[in-house]
Chains A and B, each alone.
Chain A
Amino acid sequence: MSHSHGGGHPHPHSHTHEHTHDDLDDEHSHSHGKHHIVPKRIYFLVFFTLIVLTWVTALVSTVDLGRWNIFVALAIAMIKASLVILFFMHIWYSTKLTKMILGAGFFWLVLLLFITMSDIWTRNWMGVPGR
């Protein structure tokens, strides 16, 4: 355990002085380790919304909305997922870096899904079998 032999610089990031191109990593020095305690009522509010949305999406699925069924279902799922991410997983209160990492994950997921689907969607456009 020789963690404190750093001499006159107790902490590698909190005081990255004069020149900081370093917005990403600087951010966290504001949050100072102490974790943000989310009020319990927010958890219950989110929970209640999630339950309601679950049963709304189940009931709506039994109504014929044509091609909109899937969009409604996915929109509700995205709202639910966002609530869980923002509040249960504390992204609302977290650093830019964490948000960026999560954003990158979703962006790459969209790349995978959208670019591949763009192949599927444009097949047979030429009217030649297989093309």
Chain B
Amino acid sequence: MTTAPPLIAEKPKNYLNSQVGLKSWLLTEDHKRIAILYLIVVTAFFFLGGFFAVLIRLELATPAGDLLDSNTYNKVFTMHGILMVFFFLIPSIPAVLGNFLIPLMIGAKDLAFPRINLLSWYIYILGGLFTLYVLLAGGVDTGWTFYTPFSSSYSNGYVIMAGLGIFINGFSSILTGLNFVVTIHRMRAPGLTWFRLPLFVWSHYATGAIMILGTPVIAVTLFLLVLERGLHIGFFDPAYGGDPVLFQHLFWFYSHPAVYIMILPSMGVVSEVISTFCSKKPFGYTFIAFSSIAIAVFGFLVWGHHLFVSSQSVYAGMVFSILSYIVAIPSAIKVFNWTATMYKGSVRLTTPMLYAMGFIGLFTIGGLTGLFVASLGIDVHVTDTYFVIAHFHYVMVGGAIMGYLAGIHFWWPKITGKMYSEGWSKVSAIIVFAGFNLTFFPQFLLGYMGMPRRYHVYPPEFQVLNVLSSAGASILGVGYLIPFCYLLWSLKYGPDAPPNPWGATGLEWQTSSPPPTQNFDITPVVTTEAYDYSSLEGVNVG
């Protein structure tokens, strides 16, 4: 792909060992080190959010409310939602993998604004501290959606602190998106035109755009909510003449596109992984690239489908319903193109590939059930049931987290310079896939039968499916813990990774593993299209 040969010295200094000490990490402006900082904190929030998921599934193992009372249960599912959505899923792939890889993939030395990048991590930490404070002080029980007037007038939880935590965290997301967009526009290596960019970069460009355009709206919404609750001045509460549906409009203007902040980066990862392990240029490169942009744009036109059962006008509902179907088109284009890439490819079933294939299947189910809930009539039937829960967990867990794990496994050798155990990683990929389906497929059935979300008790006839779901959750939990263990293990005992262990084509594989602080010893000049596997011929591929 480039004319710059990989230069590997005997004992190369890399970004990990070029400087030592805590201070060199906490004050670093190196995008790769900031990615590691994000990785550590994001992982912590993932397991904290997972802990609350465990509590939810334990409680729901029996029909009675024997483990948690209703108030505690409300707080538990709220914290699960807040932690997973705002503090894990949204920063996960962009702030970890995007941060690490975008400059490498475009042949730059860093993101355009390294100090802003570091600032975004500190803002994230500050927002996280607010959330942890809420957790320790007694929690918040509004659900992660903070609907008014419950949140502004009736809730007994720490709504203000939780709102401020997410408000602050939003700026971290905005700054990350800003950095990505400017970097992709202005920092590309010579010869790296838009249509030579890896699809991962395209998907992060689209993600960055959503972060920039959407996040400020939820920031101001939560700001108004805090004012209403704190100072008792009216914005949304009908008691002050306000319109609670306005809150829902503002909230979902961001929070629906936020789903695409979670899924688009995963799609980018999957595009890279599938191309690499089929050693083929992705089928319909241009279509995949533009479908990312299309998802980002269309994603902003559909938020009203969360308001079908509110007092939103039915005419607006109908339009939102039709527009929601349109988002399925670019998503389907991607799925078709990935499968077409695999068709007659020499597929190598490595761990990242297993996760990527899992992603395609689970995302397809999540996406198709999205069409069910996008249609007005069915949505009225399944609103606020476990059908919706199952649908968005297929997208966010089956989609976004599978993609995240695919990416972590794919680039782990590049990030750490170490190889992990193929055997363990394949086993855990299969455990995650099985556990995931056992957890969430029964929830489709439960929801269709009418089990509502956000209740800690349920009628006994729902117990069999709930027990299956809880059993699945424990398997899924094991599936998440195993990678945590063998990846840590690999840091110390894993064999050293070669620069390009998978036979991939991106610029990031042309530099050493782990990369030097400057990323490239010589700035690469790009002369070929993306995914040109012919350039790798003769290179020994592991």
Q: Do A and B touch, yes or no (CB under 8 Å, in the complex)?
A: yes
Q: Which A positions have Cβ atoms within 8 angstroms of B?
A: 2, 5-7, 9, 11-13, 15-17, 19-22, 24-25, 97, 104-105, 108, 111-112, 115-116, 118-126, 130-131
**How many Å from the CB of B277 to the closest CB on chain A?**
28
Prevailing SS type, chain B contact patch: helix
Knowing A97-B185, A125-B315, A131-B313 touch, does A16 contact B304 (C-beta < 8 A)? no
Contacts of A5 in B (CB 8 A): 522-523
Contact yes or no, A20 B193, CB < 8 A: yes
Give bound CA distance, A60 to B317, whole Å: 39
Beta-carbon contact of B315 and A122 below 8 Å:
yes
Which residues does chain B contribute within 8 Å of A115, judged by CB atoms?
301, 304, 316
* A9 engages B316 (CB within 8 Å): no
Q: Does B191 interact with chain A (Cβ within 8 Å)?
A: yes
A13 cross-chain contacts in B, Cβ below 8 A: 186, 188, 190
**Alpha-carbon gap, A112 to B256, bound state (A):** 13
Interface string of B291-318 (1 = CB under 8 A from A): 0000000001100100100011111100
Q: Give chain A residues whose Cβ lies under 8 Å from the Cβ of B187.
A: 12
Q: Least Cβ distance of A33 to chain B in Å?
A: 13
User: A108-B300, A119-B312, A119-B313 in contact; A21/B191 too (CB < 8 A)?
Assistant: no
Interface residues of B in 230-284 (CB under 8 A from A): 245-246, 249, 253
* Size of B's binding interface in residues, CB under 8 A: 32
In the docked arrangement, what's the CA distance between A125 and B523, Å? 63
Can you offer 16 A-B residue contacts whose CB atoms are under 8 A?
Answer: A2-B518, A6-B190, A7-B523, A13-B190, A15-B190, A16-B191, A16-B193, A19-B193, A25-B186, A104-B213, A111-B300, A115-B316, A119-B249, A119-B307, A123-B313, A126-B314
> A6-B522, A7-B522 provided; 12 other pairs, C-beta below 8 A?
A6-B523, A9-B525, A12-B523, A13-B188, A13-B190, A25-B188, A108-B213, A112-B217, A119-B245, A123-B313, A124-B313, A130-B311
The interface residues of chain A lying within 8 Å CB-to-CB of B213 are 104-105, 108
Q: Which residue of A lies closest to B4 (CB)?
A: A7
- Is there contact, CB below 8 Å, between B249 and A116? yes
* Distance of A9 Cα from B311 Cα, bound (Å): 60
Q: Is the CB of B314 within 8 A of A131?
A: yes
Question: Who on chain B is nearest to A9 by CB?
Answer: B190
B67: CB under 8 A from chain A?
Answer: no
Give the CA-CA distance A92 to B314 in the complex, in Å: 43
Residues of chain A contacted by B249 (CB below 8 angstroms): 116, 119
A12 and B188 within 8 A (CB): yes
B321 CB, min distance to chain A CBs, angstroms: 13
A119 engages B188 (CB within 8 Å): no
| In the bound complex, CA of A105 to CA of B190 (Å) | 29
**Chain A residue at minimum C-beta to C-beta distance from B193:** A22
Q: Mark B178-213, 1 if CB is under 8 A from A, else 0.
A: 000000011111110111000000000000010001
Nearest CB on A from B9, distance (A): 16
Q: State the Cβ distance, A82 to closest chain B Cβ, in Å.
A: 21
A118 lies within 8 A of B319 (CB): yes
Bound Cα distance from A125 to B312, whole angstroms: 11
Report the minimal beta-carbon distance from B211 to chain A, rounded to whole angstroms. 12
* A122-B316, A123-B311, A131-B313 known; A12+B189 contact, CB < 8 A: yes
Q: Are the CB atoms of A16 and B194 closer together than 8 Å?
A: no
- Which A-B residue pairs are the 5 nearest by beta carbons? A119-B316, A122-B313, A122-B315, A6-B523, A123-B313
Q: Write the nearest CB–CB distance from A21 to chain B, whole angstroms.
A: 5
Measured between beta carbons, the chain B residues less than 8 angstroms from A21 are 193-195
Report A-chain residues with C-beta under 8 Å of the C-beta of B518.
Answer: 2
